[in-house]
Amino acid sequence: MNISFSQILKIILYGSGLLIAYQVLIRIIRKLFHFPAPAFIGFFLDSDCRRIMQPAEEFIQAAGIQPGTRVLEIGCGSGAYTTFVARAVGERGRVEALDIQPGMLAQLERKLSQPENQDLKNVFLHKADAYHLPFGDEELDLVYLITVLPEIPNQARALAEIMRVLKPGGTLAVAELLLDPDYPLKRTTSQRCQQAGFLPREMKGNFWSYTARFSKPAACPPG
């Protein structure tokens, strides 16, 4: 069956219209109701398609993740970036993978048990929320969130908790993707983190996908 150019154009336009309508609808719903990404979409979150849009190597470089550091991933999900970060920090480093959903952590645990990941001994799983991080004061070198911060209902409270567990001068990295229904503009992310007391360091990426890096002040100002 031959399809004319006008028919192809109509299909593209209809498809684009449906995609835009879906994005508008899901964003309205997400504005009204805050909840973490459900565990059943873990297969997509941890997929090559997702990482084409948000490459792991680019995120690691933009976040400033270095060998030997102890990092916390809030909202690790099914582990789309966890193993990449674990290899980046190396044997002397440590990745604390935290999620509020047991289903997501179970998927990550299965991923870590696969033959290609059995050499990774530096990933430790935690079931907890962003308001009660299971770490002591000034214990971590770096905390990162990938398309997670806007899912947290009380972001100010979560950022205060991140501030508590980071070492003075430690790094906070926040990555966002336009296709995510909770996507915030760069300036929104920057304002939220600076209002929580973090210092802006670097913003990499573009409107489609970006990583914002901040640091905890080396010394807290006198209260």
Alpha-carbon distances of 94 from 108, 115, 121, 166, rounded to whole Å: 16, 20, 9, 14
Q: Are 100 and 132 in contact (CB under 8 A)?
A: no
pLDDT of residue 29: 46
In the structure, what pLDDT confidence band is assigned to residue 24 with cuts at 50, 70 and 90?
very low
| pLDDT tier, 72 (very low <50, low <70, confident <90, very high otherwise) | very high
Q: How confident is the model at residue 86 (pLDDT cuts 50, 70, 90)?
A: very high
